[in-house]
Chains A and B, each alone.
Chain A
Amino acid sequence: MSLASSVAPAPRVGAPARPWLRFAVRRLGRLLVSLWVLVTASFLMIHLIPGDPVRAALGPTAPASLVAARRADMGLDDPLLVQYWHYVQHLLTGDLGTSMISQLPVSQIVSQRLPATLQLALLAFVVAIAVAVPLGVSMGVLTRRGHGRRTELAFTTSSVVVGIVPDFLVGVALVYVFGVNLGWLPVAGNDTPDAYVLPVLSLAIGPAAILARIVRVEMVSVLEADFVRTARAKRLPARTIYLGHALPNALTASLTLGGLLLSGMVAGTVLVENVFAWPGLGSTIVSSILNKDYQVVQAIVLVYGVGVLVVNTLVDVALALIDPRSTIRED
């Protein structure tokens, strides 16, 4: 708060535009700083690896001349700052380097693999929200003010347990039940629509349970708020009170906490893809780490990181739309 605004009330005309502007500037600033940290970290990754990454990738039998040539190609013999400068320059032009193993441009590998991962993450996101919000709201209404203690205990316990189970174990269990035992659904690849069911479920179930629990807790506390009493004093129908007044306020806090969860889903695809042989970035990064194809690893880490940052930013923007006060909040 500036001195002026604390001394005298700021002119009201045009005032609503300013919190938004400040919010946008602040949020963009944080995004840029995080991006810079991410780019720097992914650049440093190759240099933090003990030994020569090129030698490691090509193996001990590769001739020294080939290693030297590759090192020269990649500019690994330049001073670190020069390399950093080139790295950032290349990134800005969309050049992610060349795979040391397959000799393909990394950008080509990434763009081939990215859509499958995006589909998986987005579908799981939608499923998690579609399950968690109605479940959390109805549980909140059912267990408000000490109602339904048994329901509350059962719901909380089961959602805690389900929330802890890591996505890849959910995946293994689903493979066993629906693939091996019942034989209803395919357990590998993404060739048919029904192949999406199990991977999406494995990714969505855990976050949905946690999110539903958060929504319930928020709902219960929002239902105690003064403005809900006001809404009741207006004698609005229960549906309007719960969905129109309580829900948007419950979502504010739920989204803040849920945001972390959802960005976790972006990275969660890595494990799930490996359970279901999903042809996305997750299976590629693991095979690239094992093959020591560091250029590819570096690029995919960057892509995942950007994905997380984008999700976090979108969550903050959604928050600002739902609850305009969050634009004023200092972080």
Chain B
Amino acid sequence: MIRRWRSVLRTPLGIAATALTVAVLVLAVVAPILWTDDANAVDTGNILAGPSGDHWAGTDNLGRDILFRTLVATRLSVELALAATAIAVVAGLVLGTAGFVLGRRPGRLVSAAINIAVAFPGILLALFFAVVFGVGATGAVLAIGFAGAPAFGRLTQTLVAGIESRDFISAARIAGVGRLRILVRHVLPNISEPLVVNATIGAGGALLSFAGLSFLGLGVQQPRYDWGRLLFDGISSIYVNPASALAPGAAVLIAGLAFNLFGESVAKGLGVGVVGGIPALPPVVPTLVTDEPLIEESHQAGTDLVLDVRDLEVTFPGARGPIRPVRGVSFAVRRGEAVGVVGESGSGKSLTALAVSRLVGEPGRVDASRLDLLGTDLRARDSRAQRQLLGTSLAMVFQDPMTSFNPTRRMGGQLAEVARHHQGLERRSALARAVDRLRSVRISEPERRARQYPHEFSGGMRQRAMIGMGLMGNPALIIADEPTTALDVTVQLQVLDLLQAIREADGVALVLISHDVTVVGEVCDRVLVMYAGRIVEDLPAAALSGEALHPYTRALVAAVPDMDTDLDQPLAVIPGRPVDPADVPPGCAYAARCPLASERCRVEDPALVPAGPGHRVACWHAGEPIDIEIADREEVRVP
């Protein structure tokens, strides 16, 4: 608690607000004691005088000192505001907890009433109550208090609802403790902190509202005076002595701001982390010799490369220095090829995809010694030509089709936009192409569907539409990041089939990112296995079962249940946890979980080296036999 209050005092605004609030409260106490006589002293020689040595803020129409009157008025103004706030809080508590105490049905009625009352602005409610309670200070206190009650009622309701379902409340209920007792003993203490904070802010509001009512002549009446009343008297003589209006106005403003900002600062109390710039990290040692061809000569590669990536790194600023979730990734994708990228979450596979497609936004930083799409260097500064190339030749399919479409725009328009911007089509022909693309991804009634909004599509349909959006241009490469993870199992196959069909028909290359090694094995020609921001193995999909060399790849394959899996045995999992990108150990990142790990693995990071035709692996013990018995028995859990 004390630490949190200290954090309030750490921001300049918090310090200023606290100091002002204390000053206002002190003034409220001492000002009437010190200066009441000065404030009431009539100086008939100086009526409505401007500021002078005797009267710093001038005098009013009876020759009374404006400054002293403003200072003395602090007490009444603060007192009335606090009284009104107290009424608002108490009435709000009654309203807000009524549902809890009375039960569901009467509670619903109360909350409907609160909802209607909250819709009306406070000043209107205050005027209503001012009429009912009569003109004057008492009437105004009641008016502002009751006008503030609905807002506090709603706040209380929200807070109570948040705590109602907690275990200790249920336990007390089961124990037969009465509702009122639970409310007083368990609920109120737990919501008191936000209530007090909001009451402080509310006091600032009440102070300003009170000044408003008094300014209208509906609040404090002569001979008593608060700031609003002084302002009411002063505004009529603003041309003669502007200070007579400005002094009480400034006082209201300062006090209102002080309470308000003090409350806000307390509310913000908990410290907010600051993200700074990115200090440079030393570049990682290239994982392979740059001149070495990534695709072997026998594959006749080099001429038909769609994507060529070397030493790709992605860096983010972190609380304790830069974090590098992708640490030197090199691979290439040929025309029409399907490359799978597998790995656990946090392995850097999605970031690799985003980096390749230049979608890693600030504050992330992407570095690579080569990043070519269709022979064009993507590392160059953003240009129109580059945008056009990326917009038409590269299609992205994201994980969650639910959130990846703009909910406020029709589907047809969202597809058509690509053609309008990159192919210069007119609205009508762009829309026609969108309808055509929707049809090509097997969406029935595409004309009608194009006029619908994303929320009217089913999940699988949205994902197919997303693929269709990628087909608006003439993509040479589709990057699909977990395209089926968010979908029902029955729909997953449709989407995968569609991707496969597009690939076969148009010779489009596919990079399929997935945590599911089975999916990747079925759809892709080649598989990249990523661990802790690196490729640890690059192998033909056919080699996955049986010929995988890296112990991590073998563990991934072994973790998949198949027809031969003994259902009486718990499912195999990889023991240990994935590496935290902020804390990558020296040596091989997998060593801590690896059954083959030796001393060398913990010190020296293995490079990705060729290990047969179309096969690369980064492991000091590639292909060595693993004692399955030990691996299985060690920490086997049911996922």
- Give Cα A154 to B275, complex, Å: 18
Taking the complex as formed, is A21 at the interface, i.e. its CB lies under 8 A from any CB of chain B? no
- CA of A181 to CA of B243, assembled, Å: 12
User: Quick one: which of B227-256 are within 8 Å of A by CB?
Assistant: 231, 235, 238-239, 242, 245-246, 249, 252-253, 256
A146 touches B208 (CB 8 A): no
Q: Which of A103-111, A192-200, A212-220, A270-278 contacts B (4 or more CB under 8 A)?
A: A270-278
Q: How far is the CA of A37 from the CA of B466 in the complex (A)?
A: 48
How far is A263 from B455 in the complex, measured between Cα atoms in Å? 31
Q: Which residues 138-191 of B have a CB within 8 angstroms of A? A: none
Q: Does B264 contact A (CB under 8 A)?
A: yes
Which of the residues B119, B127, B362, B458 comes within 8 Å of A270, measured between beta carbons?
A: B127
Give complex CA distance A270, B363 in Å: 48
**Does B357 belong to the interface (CB within 8 Å)?**
yes
Which residues from B are CB-within-8-Å of A37?
113, 116
* Contact A323 B396, CB 8 Å, known A48-B132, A305-B124: no
B408 contacts A249, C-beta separation under 8 Å? yes
Residues from chain A with a CB closer than 8 A to the CB of B407 are 227, 249, 323-325
Name the contact of B361 in the complex, choosing from A145, A297, A304 (C-beta under 8 A).
Answer: A145
CB pair B245 A235 closer than 8 Å: no
Contact with B along A229-266 (1 / 0, CB 8 A): 11111111100100011001100100000001001101
Which of the 9-residue segments B57-65, B332-340, B397-405, B509-517 touches chain A? B397-405
Interface membership of A172, Cβ < 8 A: yes
B359, A248: Cβ atoms closer than 8 Å: no
Across the interface, name the chain A residue whose C-beta is closest to B415.
A234
Which of A230, A248, A322 lies in contact with B398, CB distance below 8 A?
A230
A308 touches B124 (CB 8 A): yes
B204 — nearest CB in chain A belongs to which residue? A164
A147 within 8 A of B: yes
Encode A298-331 as 1/0 by CB contact (under 8 A) with B: 0001001100110010000000001111001000
Question: A34 within 8 Å of B by Cβ?
Answer: yes
- Do A325 and B128 touch across chains, with their CB atoms under 8 A apart? no
B131 A166 Cβ-Cβ under 8 A: no
B635 at the interface (CB under 8 A from A): no
Q: How far is the CA of A301 from the CA of B249 in the complex (A)?
A: 27
Q: Compute how far the CA of A172 lies from the CA of B271 in the bound complex, rounded to whole angstroms.
A: 38
B261 located at the interface, meaning its Cβ lies under 8 Å from any Cβ of chain A in the complex: yes
- Evaluate contact between B404 and A230: CB separation under 8 angstroms: yes
Chain B residues with CB under 8 A of A157 = 13
Q: Does B532 contact A (CB under 8 A)?
A: no
CB-based contact A275/B421 at 8 Å = no
Count of interface residues, chain B, beta-carbon cutoff 8 Å: 73
Number of interface residues of A (CB under 8 A): 76
Does B421 lie within 8 Å of A236, measured CB to CB? yes
In the complex, are the beta carbons of B409 and A248 less than 8 A apart? yes
Which of chain B's residues have a CB closer than 8 A to the CB of A323? 407-408
Cα separation A260 to B128 with both chains bound (whole Å): 18
B113 (CB) vs chain A CBs: closest residue: A37
Known contacts A147-B362, A166-B208, A237-B421; A274/B121 CB under 8 A: no
Residue in contact with A146 in the complex, picked from B252, B363, B400, CB distance below 8 Å: B363
A66 interfacial contact with B, CB 8 Å: no
Chain B 280-308 interface 0/1 with A at a Cβ cutoff of 8 Å (1 = within): 00000000000000000000000000000
Q: How far is the CA of A324 from the CA of B406 in the complex (A)?
A: 11
Indicate if the CB atoms of A169 and B135 lie closer than 8 Å. no
For residue B459, CB closer than 8 A to chain A, the reply is no
Give Cα A304–Cα B127 distance, bound, in whole angstroms. 11
**A64 close to chain B: CB less than 8 A:** no
Neighbour of B260 across the interface among A149, A164, A230, A233, CB < 8 A: A164
**Mask of A1-34 contacts with B, CB within 8 angstroms, 1/0:** 0000000010010011000000000000000011
| Residue of B120, B217, B261 with most partner-chain A CB within 10 A | B120
Smallest beta-carbon distance B628→chain A, Å: 41
Instruction: Tell me if B120 and A305 are in contact (CB < 8 A).
Output: yes
CB of A87 within 8 Å of the partner chain:
no
A191 beta carbon closer than 8 Å to chain B: no
Q: Which of B387, B405, B452 is the one whose CB lies under 8 Å from A16?
A: B452
Assuming the A-B contacts A49-B131, A146-B275, A275-B235, are A286 and B218 also in contact, with contact meaning beta carbons closer than 8 angstroms in the complex? Answer: yes
Additional A-B contacts beyond A235-B388, A271-B212, A286-B218 (19; CB < 8 A):
A33-B112, A45-B132, A157-B13, A164-B256, A165-B256, A169-B252, A176-B245, A180-B238, A230-B404, A233-B396, A234-B469, A248-B406, A248-B409, A260-B119, A267-B122, A271-B215, A285-B127, A301-B131, A328-B455
Provide 11 A-B residue pairs closer than 8 Å at the C-beta atoms, listed in order of the A residue.
A33-B112, A164-B257, A166-B208, A168-B215, A169-B253, A231-B406, A235-B422, A260-B119, A271-B216, A285-B127, A322-B408
